């Protein structure tokens, strides 16, 4: 497969040239279905809680203009990379290798391989719908890549399969080997001497996945999103926040801010933001006998939280598909990104749905698919 598809940087289109953004088709049937999810309830509007505003520079000065935000955004990005560890150079010049291909329903399923971390190859699945491209595309991330393509018994986690049926190219990725050995992440340069927090390295791996996917001729590189649930939701959140070529993102119940009383919002674990040399702390909630280690307690001590990373998305759209870990009260941290978008002159860039259970369901997933249809199909005008 030749891969000669070259494109302008998505981040430049979405962030530096806002006048080039396509306008939402507010009269479309898709938009009408998802529009209610782009506003917090009246009781939570303009409620910013105790979170420190991302619209304040480190020196205490306020962000007042879009140019100020460009500088503040870089300040946030630099600070977080400095705390989590700097990424290696992106692997920009490689192409994915197609290992096997088969026709499946109305799309072609390719088993693919590429180098997602220096010296480490991953195996995933590329689903390409029938028809003439280039198509919008979505990367899906989870513990292993089979679930998202519908080859497991986990219901409502088949994001790649469902989106391929709707006319998206999808690339399904997972950490199969480390999930099997219960180390759950990507470690660079090694698991015993990691210099980058593992969750940040997952984001880096997704950025390299964007690089190879953008070269597939059936893909429009300006229209690549990312989605994941739970573990994959954390992965998708960090990837889209830290790598601005992702045009939009959906995060399914990852726990969008830090909490120490919910075992599923476990950013303190060594495979996320609490890396420390082995032997690792016992898995579970932090206690006096089983304390947090590594970067995570330092982030808390310095007053950092994940709303700072959410703000890096602006004005790129994102959807929080909230469940038990992300209830409606999470609009409070999300209001900070709404404020950033308002400063930049944008509305309807932050959305959230809510369900009681952690697991996705038919209704919550439908909003995810419509979100991608709106922002990757209906709202981006091709040149």
Query: Which tens digits make up the pLDDT trace of 36-61?
Result: 999 999 999 999 999 999 999 999 99
CA geometry: angle 337, 359, 243, nearest 5 deg? 35
Both tokens of 331, joined, read 């609009």
Supply the CATH classification number for the domain 29-378: 3.40.50.1820
Which band of pLDDT confidence, cut at 50, 70 and 90, is reported for residue 15?
very low
| 174-191: average pLDDT | 97
Q: Mean pLDDT across the stretch 230-256?
A: 98
Per cent of the chain over pLDDT 90 is 91
- In the chain, where are the structural domains located? 29-378
- Mean pLDDT along residues 267-279: 97
> Which pLDDT value is given to residue 378?
79
Share of the chain above pLDDT 70, in %: 92
**pLDDT score at 28:** 85
Distance CA 294, CA 14 (A): 35
Among 133-147, 247-261, 369-383, the least confident range: 369-383
- State yes or no: pLDDT of 9 exceeds 80: no
Q: What is the mean pLDDT of residues 331-350?
A: 98
Whole-model pTM: value is: 0.93
């Amino acid at each position: 497969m030749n891969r000669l598809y070259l494109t302008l940087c998505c981040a430049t289109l979405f962030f530096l040239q806002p006048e080039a953004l396509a306008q939402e088709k507010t009269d479309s049937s898709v938009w009408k279905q998802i529009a209610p999810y782009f506003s917090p309830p009246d009781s939570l509007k303009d409620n910013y809680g105790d979170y420190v505003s991302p619209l304040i520079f480190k020196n205490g000065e306020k962000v007042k203009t879009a140019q100020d935000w460009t500088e503040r955004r870089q300040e946030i990005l630099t600070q977080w990379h400095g705390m989590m560890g700097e990424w290696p150079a992106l692997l920009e010049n490689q192409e994915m290798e197609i290992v096997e291909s088969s026709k499946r329903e109305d799309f072609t399923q390719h088993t693919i391989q590429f180098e997602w971390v220096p010296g480490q190859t991953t195996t995933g699945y590329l689903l390409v719908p029938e028809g003439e491209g280039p198509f919008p595309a979505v990367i899906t991330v989870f513990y292993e890549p089979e679930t998202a393509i519908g080859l497991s018994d986990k219901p409502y986690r088949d994001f790649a399969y469902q989106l391929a049926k709707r006319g998206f190219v999808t690339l399904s990725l997972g950490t199969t080997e480390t999930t099997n050995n219960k180390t759950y992440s990507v470690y660079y340069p090694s698991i015993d001497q990691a210099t980058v927090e593992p969750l940040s390295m997952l984001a880096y791996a997704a950025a390299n996945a964007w690089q190879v996917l953008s070269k597939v001729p059936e893909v429009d590189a300006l229209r690549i999103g990312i989605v994941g649930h739970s573990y994959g939701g954390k992965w998708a959140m960090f990837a889209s926040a830290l790598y601005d070529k992702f045009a939009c993102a959906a995060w399914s119940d990852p726990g969008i801010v830090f909490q120490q009383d919910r075992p599923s919002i476990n950013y303190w674990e060594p495979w996320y933001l609490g890396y420390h040399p082995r032997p690792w702390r016992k898995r579970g909630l932090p206690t006096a006998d089983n304390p947090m280690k590594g970067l995570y307690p330092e982030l808390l001590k310095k007053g950092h939280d994940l709303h700072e990373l959410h703000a890096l998305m602006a004005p790129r759209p994102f959807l929080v598909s909230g469940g038990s870990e992300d209830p409606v009260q999470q609009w409070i941290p999300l209001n900070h990104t709404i404020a950033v978008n308002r400063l930049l002159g944008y509305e309807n860039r932050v959305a959230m749905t809510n369900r009681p259970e952690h697991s996705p369901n038919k209704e919550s997933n439908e909003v995810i698919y419509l979100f991608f249809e709106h922002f990757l199909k209906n709202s981006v005008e091709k040149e």
